[in-house]
């Protein structure tokens, strides 16, 4: 049997390239100019998100290094035979 039309192999469509901006940000000063385009209403949201991500990273790394009862690897086979 031949595959149905829906299952037939077809070439993918070429991805449309994004239109090139007149000032692509490739230097630091141009990237800093793009920051000014951020709406001022989003700045508090960015600050809160930054603090939340920072706290999550700190909490996770502190837990990994401070908790001595945390298992970070499997038991070795020789450890299982003693139980």
Q: How many CB atoms lie within 10 A of CB 25?
A: 13
The tens digit of pLDDT for each residue in 6-49 reads: 666 777 776 666 655 555 547 888 888 888 888 889 999 999 99
Token pair recorded at residue 37 = 């385009």
* pLDDT at residue 61 greater than cutoff 90: yes
Higher pLDDT, 63 or 21: 63
- Do residues 27 and 34 make contact, with C-beta atoms less than 8 angstroms apart? no
The Cα 64–Cα 57 span in angstroms is 11
Instruction: List CB contacts of 21: < 8 A, sequence separation 6 or more.
Output: none
**Structural element, H or E, at residue 53:** helix 43-66
């Amino acid at each position: 049997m031949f595959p149905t039309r829906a299952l037939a192999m077809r070439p993918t469509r070429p991805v449309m390239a994004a239109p090139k901006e007149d000032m692509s940000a490739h230097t630091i000063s141009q990237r800093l100019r793009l920051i000014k385009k951020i709406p001022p209403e989003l700045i508090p949201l960015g600050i809160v998100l930054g603090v939340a991500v920072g706290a999550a990273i700190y909490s996770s790394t502190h837990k990994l290094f401070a908790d001595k009862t945390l298992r970070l690897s499997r038991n070795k086979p020789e450890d299982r035979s003693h139980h």
